[in-house]
Amino acid sequence: MSDLLAARSLMAMSLGFHIIFAMVSMAMPLLMILAEWRWLKTGQDAYLIIAKRWAKGTAIFFAVGAVTGTVLSFQLGLLWPTFMAWAGPIIGLAFSIEGFAFFTESIFLGIYLYGWRKVSPRAHLAAGGVVALSGVVSGLVVVMANGWMNTPRGFTIVDGMPSNIDPIAALLNPSGLLQAPHMILAAFAATGFAVAGIHAFLLLRHPDNPFHQYAFKIALSVGCVSAILQPLSGDLLAKRVAELQPLKLAVFEGQVQTQQGAPFRMGGIWNSEREVFDYVLEIPYALSLMLHLDPYGEVKGFKDFPKENWPPIGIVRTAFQIMVLIGFLMMFLALWAAWLTFGTRDIFQSKTFLRAMVAATPLGFIATEIGWVATEVGRQPWVVVGYVKTAEAVTPMPGLTVPLIFFGALYTFLALIVTWLMFRHVAATPDQFEMIVSAQAS
């Protein structure tokens, strides 16, 4: 394995591992304050127990996310020194804001965890709100920094290096402004579906347990609203990618040749020898209509661009297709949930739907991981599009397979520990709830 491939693999592994914890840290605080708000409004202790249990789960994910995020900050400097020297002054503001949001989230999460009955109910709920807001801000600015790598702004080039830097313009780059809400919705949808899936599994065993019913409804509500909005956000983002990154969009959509009245393509296997997609299903004029609101609008093909700038076609196209498919599956489940809730009103009695939600538990996280593969591999061979190539940014230090193996083992160990902790945390919930209900009844 080359050092470049080892560095890219290590960075991808670290980001792929960290993003799960970052997503949960963004979305779970919203779930826990919704549960607490329902407790304050209704007085039902089941909501209080849900809020406390979810807060502890949030703390577990936040702690591991803080560790993996710290590792990532070191890896950026150690693995990609040229990139950091070139881009650091431009996107440094984003990471400064992220650091401030992280410390704010840490402080108020501590208040939320240990402030029960020590501060007023409104102050406690407000502390949870600050945790939720800080998590979202942290995610927003990091994704906007990533968007800058796709559509760099806020500087001019003097003697090969960026000058006249405007960090605000860089932060508010056109890709980041749409990538950020898309990612936040992904975090809410994925976490909402995952938590709902866990409680759906437990409802199949304890269908009349109000603890799981209330928790399921809160998580499902957040997940479903986000899953319905997510394709709309994706459509807006795709239109922006078509405008600013036509090569990436062409690969996403399997558009080989520039075409007016381009069809929307489903499936397909990239044939690198013939440079065509085999086994493709087409919907005539649909892609032009979606991108330009004109069935005869022109869509550029990736053959219009220098071949040395093509990303790995098969990987990017396949990842994008899987992400879109999962997104529509989650939207279908969200609409099914809405029909059961407002139409038949038997959502807890529908075992078919509950089993579907159990099966959908990991879908949002899978879609996010696959989506980042599509967008990051789709940017290759550039680390900063049009300015710095990935091969130019990597460290000259040899032997990068050693840290790759080490961190692979470390992440495996952390994953096992978190899985064990969360299994014990979730498994303890029904018994604890039953004990409290029995005590209240007596």
Domain of 54 in residue numbering reads as 3-230+346-354+364-441
The predicted-structure confidence for 118-165, as pLDDT tens digits, reads as follows 899 999 999 999 999 999 999 999 999 999 999 999 999 888 888 999
The pTM score is 0.91
Give a yes or no: residue 10 inside a domain. yes
The predicted-structure confidence for 406-431, as pLDDT tens digits, reads as follows 888 988 988 898 888 888 777 665 45
Give a yes or no: residue 266 inside a domain. no
In this model, does residue 441 exceed pLDDT 50? no
CB atoms within 10 A of CB 395: 16
Q: What percent of the chain has a predicted confidence (pLDDT) above 70?
A: 96
Give a yes or no: residue 149 inside a domain. yes
Give a yes or no: residue 276 inside a domain. no
Give a yes or no: residue 415 inside a domain. yes
In this model, does residue 434 exceed pLDDT 50? no
Give a yes or no: residue 262 inside a domain. no
Give a yes or no: residue 128 inside a domain. yes
Mean pLDDT, rounded, for 352-359: 94
Per the structure, the count of domains in the chain is 1
Give a yes or no: residue 153 inside a domain. yes
